[in-house]
Amino acid sequence: MSDAASEIARLRAALAASEARAKAAESELAQARAVVSTSEAMIKHLRLEIAKLRREQYGHSSERRARLIDQMELQLEELEAAATEDEIAAEKVAKTTSVAGFERRRPARKPFPEHLPRERVVIAAPTACSCCGSDRIVRMGEDITETLEVVPRQWKVIQTVREKFTCRQCEKISQPPAPFHPTPRGWAGPNLLAMILFEKFGQHQPLNRQAERYAREGVEISLSTIADQVGACTAALEPIHALIRAHVLGAERLHGDDTTVPLLAKGGTKTARLWTYVRDDRPFGGGAPPAALFHFSRDREMTHPNRHLAGWQGVLQADAYGGYNDLYRGDRDPGPVQSALCWSHARRKFFELADIKENARKKKPAHDISPVALEAVKKIDAIFNIERQISGLDAYSRLESRQRLARPLVEDMNDWMRAEQGTMSKHNPVAKAIAYMFKTDRWDAFTRFLEDGRVCLTNNAAERALRGVALGRKSWLFAGSERGGDRAAFMYSLIVTAKMNNLDPQAWLADVLARLPNATVSRVPDLLPWNWQPSERQRAA
């Protein structure tokens, strides 16, 4: 019996040891998973930061970089969530074992902004010592833990009171005059109006969704009532828009581009267009503030650019769209517009044929990757590298650097492309990409930047102005009418111009709507984005 008992005791000890080892292994596995998840999240975060820094320093070095950054941000969100889940699982396992828990290293959090109000929540102090029970305790300090919280938006009704007085002598009634309001009937304040406008045109939230959200917050405003105020604000802001339009068309060089906009029509939608013309003199050190002008049209006929730029003469940076050709005619009144074509558009055609990663993703064979297109991309990138070094210099310095550094590269590329073109069929995709640059006087327009220091190598300024429209199409789906498209173009001109001048568009619109009713004609230019100074009321807000 003693031998059997000792054997049972030995087996029990061995089982306990095995269970302990299993628990330790499980804890170590959970910690390893947490370490791997955290490392993956950290690597993805660092890659994302590197990509953003490279983009800020070098601009659009590839057509896929912006798309890759968006994808990396989505992946980072998933990795961060997975790392947190694995960390919590490791902590739970560590509580049941003697193995030390995994501690995830997090980046240092920035302190909360000083301007935020602080609300002190004091936990009741003990009345006796937790050790001996004595009541002879003295306060010696405090520890503060800050938690960021949000209070739902607050609505309020402002009552403007005008007292009446009567004269005991003549019995005439006196009363202060009614204040001017941003819009007729004056039921909406300037901050509410600015919020409606910016959410619709800046954040791409249709009015019906705004009305639904306001109703959930306890303030029911009908869709037609909100839409009425949008129209009233458009009329009120017309003086500001007119000055921005005059400023844009006063430039000697403009960026032009357009994008598709779905327009509601019978049986569905039709493809309309939103055009933009951007004045941005910052690349060549110009002193004029940047601004953007938008137009809407039902189609893409060439009559629209002719109407938009009637009477204007200068250098137009755009793509090779044939609708601009009437502007370049020698007999145009008041004179021909000079064309400066975009090298990003030309590079894109070669890049699509030389995108090794994209071809690998689509599992295309290696011979589908064109070595000629790859070489063209390298040659164009060398020209872009020179442009990045001279960005922001004055026009004379830019021209001198281009003549010295870029012209030899451009001439070499010209000779190389013509030689390669002669060895290819005209149906070859690479030959078509080369023909895009040589078709009917286009090479002169592509090399315009070598003769004028003000000209940019790309038309990215106009594409940046249209970026919000492209993002917003998924939200507002279509323009309800041609008048609605014109109104959208009107408001985009104001909002994009405010952003280009580093202003908060909503704050600027609120202050402008509050001050416009009392502003004289001579004071309206003070409200333009590049002249605007916040009022005392705006600074207080």
Integer Cα distance of 97 and 27 in angstroms: 7
- Flag whether 76 is in a domain: yes
Judged by DSSP in three states, 294 sits in: strand
What pLDDT digit, counting tens, does each position of 513-534 carry? 999 988 899 999 999 999 999 8
Model pLDDT, residue 407: 96
Tokens of 287: 């002193």
**DSSP H helical ranges for 296-405:** 303-308, 343-354, 356-361, 371-390, 395-401
Residues 261-268 have a mean pLDDT of: 77
The residue among 69, 202, 71 whose CA lies nearest residue 472 is 202
Q: How confident is the model at residue 256 (pLDDT cuts 50, 70, 90)?
A: very high
Distance of CA 530 to the CA centre of its chain: 20
Query: Which of 95, 117, 146 is the last residue in one of the domains?
Result: 95
Q: How confident is the model at residue 10 (pLDDT cuts 50, 70, 90)?
A: confident
Integer Cα distance of 135 and 480 in angstroms: 74
- Flag whether 326 is in a domain: yes
- Flag whether 497 is in a domain: no
What pLDDT digit, counting tens, does each position of 453-492 carry? 999 999 999 999 998 887 766 665 566 678 888 888 999 9
Model pLDDT, residue 159: 86
How many CB atoms lie under 10 A from the CB of residue 416? 15
pLDDT of 379 > 90? The answer is: yes
Residues 4-20 have a mean pLDDT of: 83
Q: Which residue has the tokens 């050790």?
A: 131
Residues 163-174 have a mean pLDDT of: 87
**Domain range for residue 341?**
244-467
Average pLDDT along the chain = 83
Q: Considering only 127-131, 213-217, 302-306, 457-461, which range has the smallest mean pLDDT? A: 127-131
Integer Cα distance of 39 and 135 in angstroms: 50
Categorise residue 335: left if φ over 0, alpha if ψ from -120 to 50, beta otherwise: left
Q: Return the amino acid letter for 217.
A: E
Model pLDDT, residue 522: 93
Q: Which DSSP letter does residue 450 get?
A: G
- Flag whether 89 is in a domain: yes
What pLDDT digit, counting tens, does each position of 28-63 carry? 787 777 777 777 666 766 666 766 666 665 554 454
Q: In percent, how much of the chain has pLDDT > 90?
A: 40
Residues 439-446 have a mean pLDDT of: 89
- Flag whether 204 is in a domain: no
Q: How much is the pTM?
A: 0.75
pLDDT of 2 > 60? The answer is: yes
Query: Which of 59, 79, 95 is the last residue in one of the domains?
Result: 95
Integer Cα distance of 16 and 525 in angstroms: 84
Integer Cα distance of 62 and 352 in angstroms: 11
> Total structural domains in the chain?
2
Helix axes 482-500, 460-476, angle to 10 degrees: 130
Contacts of 355 (CB under 8 A, 6+ apart): 64, 369
Q: Please provide the distance, in angstroms rounded to a whole number, between the alpha carbons at the two ends of the chain.
A: 89
Q: How confident is the model at residue 206 (pLDDT cuts 50, 70, 90)?
A: confident
Q: How confident is the model at residue 240 (pLDDT cuts 50, 70, 90)?
A: very high
Distance of CA 136 to the CA centre of its chain: 60
pLDDT of 339 > 90? The answer is: yes
- Flag whether 327 is in a domain: yes
- Flag whether 170 is in a domain: no
Q: Considering only 70-84, 127-141, 280-294, which range has the smallest mean pLDDT? A: 70-84
pLDDT of 217 > 70? The answer is: yes
Model pLDDT, residue 248: 97
What pLDDT digit, counting tens, does each position of 64-123 carry? 555 555 555 545 555 555 555 566 667 666 665 554 544 555 555 678 788 888 888 888
Integer Cα distance of 273 and 300 in angstroms: 6
Model pLDDT, residue 525: 96
Helix axes 223-236, 207-216, angle to 10 degrees: 120
Model pLDDT, residue 541: 57
What pLDDT digit, counting tens, does each position of 307-322 carry? 999 999 999 999 999 8
Query: Which of 418, 437, 467 is the last residue in one of the domains?
Result: 467
Contact yes or no for 91/33 (Cβ under 8 A): no
For Cα atoms 336, 340, 343, give the angle at the middle one, nearest 5 degrees: 165
- Flag whether 102 is in a domain: no
pLDDT of 186 > 80? The answer is: no
